[in-house]
Structure 1
Amino acid sequence: MPSLLPAAAEITALHDALLATAGWPQQEPAPRDDGLWRWVQTNHLFNCRLWAEEDLARRTKVSDAEIAKNKRAIDGFNQARNDATERVDEVLLVALGLVDPASARTDAPVSTVPAGARLNSETAGSMIDRLSIMALKINAMRAQTERRDADAEHIAASRVKLARLEQQRADLAGCLDALLADAQAGRAYFKVYRQFKMYNDPRFNPVLVAESRQR
């Protein structure tokens, strides 16, 4: 593959390396480039922040105000995660020659897909997003296998789950490589699907619309 198209192994290696980086995700190291890898890293950054915030939102011994703060942060991180996923798709579609570059970031990108190519229901960006989440799950489950305060049964069960997670990630990585290879060969394509997170938009969330009318 050309250098503009990543191998799944490169992506999973980056995910794992960032999780092992001191200060991450509060401090972000410089990305490999300002294109694809910037957005792969940004997606992983917000998945990591989202993961931590989801843990905090499950607390039972803090005030309701603290949990509300967590929930608002979750909404923001989730939106940023989805935005980065879309940017990954845009960069890849341009690199693959499947979309007109000038229209790639619009809500109506102009397709340059070859005739006969099949549409893949999942985008490459969403698969990379899922690989990011798999890295987090593997990292967290591996920590469970290393606990000193857990009994042998818990450690054994965690090891079984860790193996399943690692297999799941390997399978997903293989599917990503296959999609990119097929897209490069003109056999497949995917689209940028704008997420339209309506609950975050005061123009579309019916509760927020109703609140604005009460002012």
Structure 2
Amino acid sequence: MTNLGEQVSHLHDKTLMAAGGPPVAAPADRPGQQGHAHLLHHWIATNHFFNSSLWAEEDLARRTTVGADDIAQNKRAIDQFNQARNDATERIDEILLTELGLVDATSAHTDAPVSKVPAGARLNSETAGSIIDRMSIMALKIHAMRAQTLRTDVDDAHRSSSQVKLEKLLQQRGDLGRCLDELIADTQAGKAYFKVYRQFKMYNDPRFNPALVAEQQAKAQG
């Protein structure tokens, strides 16, 4: 997994430059049924697709010339894309933890994965998957800011300030990529480890969201 940060940045940029943006990812099997490299690439691309979809919906939700129904549809789409983005992040961590030998492969996708962490390794609070997720968002910011530097309907000051911001964003993404590579290297050396952190997004689940529970109870009583 040498230079994973550079590989992730390249994948993010390549898909954003493609016509239509990141492609819709097809379903994939769990680790062990296909090669880890193939699955890792798939779930990184899937995470990026849903981050891109989320970004587009967030823009639409800020419209001021449409009705409340349109904004409500945007909000529901945002919730769905955010859930899918988090699910993909968890899949990335499952695959990496399995490949790094930090969890038992058969339990990696459960809520209680069996740890194989070496004694003395430090726990890293941020997972590799969450760093990759942040790099995806950073790629979207870079893509959007680069577009600002190329606009012809604005003055030089706008393009110049956008270029300064673009360079800072590129630097920040480079920092994240190096942090990812250092975390992977430390885990391979037995110095560090990370876990899959389940998000348990309750607002999308009618069993846990109190507003949805109240709606169901009202329907049952009516």
Question: CA–CA distance in 1 between the matches of 2:3 and 2:43?
Answer: 13
Deviations along 1:127-157, one digit per CA (max 9) or x if unpaired, are: 0000000000000000011110111111111
Gap regions ≥5 residues in structure 2: 29-34
Question: CA–CA distance in 1 between the matches of 2:148 and 2:5?
Answer: 26
Answer yes or no: is 1:9 the counterpart of 2:6: yes
**Structure-1 residue corresponding to 2:15:** 18
Question: CA–CA distance in 2 between the matches of 1:78 and 1:63?
Answer: 23
Shift of 1:212: 0.7
Task: Work out which of the residue numbers 118, 122, 137 in structure 2 matches 1:118.
Answer: 122
Q: Aligned runs of 1:71-82 on 2, under 5 Å?
A: 71-82=75-86
Q: Secondary structure at the match of 2:75?
A: helix
Shift of 1:27: 5.0
- C-alpha contact 2:25 2:42 (8 A) present in aligned 1: no
Moved more, 28-37 or 17-26: 28-37
Answer yes or no: is 1:95 the counterpart of 2:94: no
Task: Work out which of the residue numbers 182, 187, 190 in structure 2 matches 1:186.
Answer: 190
Shift of 1:24: 2.3
**AA aligned opposite 1:13:** H
Q: Aligned runs of 1:10-159 on 2, under 5 Å?
A: 10-25=7-22, 34-159=38-163
Question: CA–CA distance in 2 between the matches of 1:30 and 1:197?
Answer: 21
Q: CA RMSD in A?
A: 1.8
Shift of 1:25: 3.5
- C-alpha contact 2:131 2:180 (8 A) present in aligned 1: yes
Gap regions ≥5 residues in structure 1: none
**Structure-2 residue corresponding to 1:207:** 211
Q: Secondary structure at the match of 2:182?
A: helix
Question: CA–CA distance in 1 between the matches of 2:12 and 2:45?
Answer: 8
**Cα pair distance change 1:94/1:19, threshold 3 Å:** same
Shift of 1:30: 11
**Cα pair distance change 1:169/1:151, threshold 3 Å:** same
Shift of 1:26: 5.7
- C-alpha contact 2:125 2:194 (8 A) present in aligned 1: yes
Following TM superposition, the consecutive aligned residue runs of length 4 or more in structure 1 with deviations greater than 3 angstroms are 25-34
Q: Secondary structure at the match of 1:154?
A: helix
**AA aligned opposite 2:210:** P
Give the fraction of aligned pairs with identical amino acids, expressed as a percent: 66
